[in-house]
């Protein structure tokens, strides 16, 4: 199992709109690709020097092949939606985490 993690710092001026969009549109769209088995939004509990609010959005995917298929078939379209709506109001970086053990 892999977690595709997107960490996002969003400007406070669009924070509420972004969060609503994530919950009601973006995450459902990501899940509708059928490549992810679940998703969660976590608020990062540190104050950033640059301001804004930071979140980690974690998508569960069964294996590397499925994640690579997402990159090939869906990633550009999914990422461009956020860029179009929130342009210069956020910064994001992505990491891939392999689940070694869960209890």
> Measured over all CA atoms, what is the biggest interatomic distance in the chain, rounded to whole angstroms?
40
pLDDT bucket at 102, cuts 50 / 70 / 90: confident
Residue-wise pLDDT for 32-54, tens only, equals: 999 999 999 999 998 777 789 99
Closest alpha carbon to 52 in 89, 82, 11: 11
How far separated are the first and last CA of the chain, in Å rounded? 14
Lookup: tokens for 80:
């461009």
How far is the C-alpha of 92 from the C-alpha of 9, rounded, in Å? Answer: 6
Name residue, tokens 């976590």.
Answer: 42
Name residue, tokens 């973006």.
Answer: 26
How far is the C-alpha of 54 from the C-alpha of 18, rounded, in Å? Answer: 12
Question: For residue 31, is pLDDT > 90?
Answer: yes
Mean pLDDT confidence for 50-60:
93
């Amino acid at each position: 199992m892999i977690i595709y993690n997107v960490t996002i710092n969003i400007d406070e001026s669009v924070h509420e709109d972004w969060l609503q969009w994530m919950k009601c549109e973006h995450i459902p769209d990501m899940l509708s690709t059928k490549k992810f088995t679940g998703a969660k939004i976590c608020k990062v509990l540190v104050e950033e020097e640059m301001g804004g609010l930071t979140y980690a959005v974690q998508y569960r995917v069964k294996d590397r092949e499925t994640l690579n298929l997402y990159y090939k078939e869906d990633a550009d379209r999914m990422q461009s939606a956020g860029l179009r709506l929130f342009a210069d109001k956020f910064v994001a970086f992505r990491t891939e985490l392999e689940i070694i053990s869960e209890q």
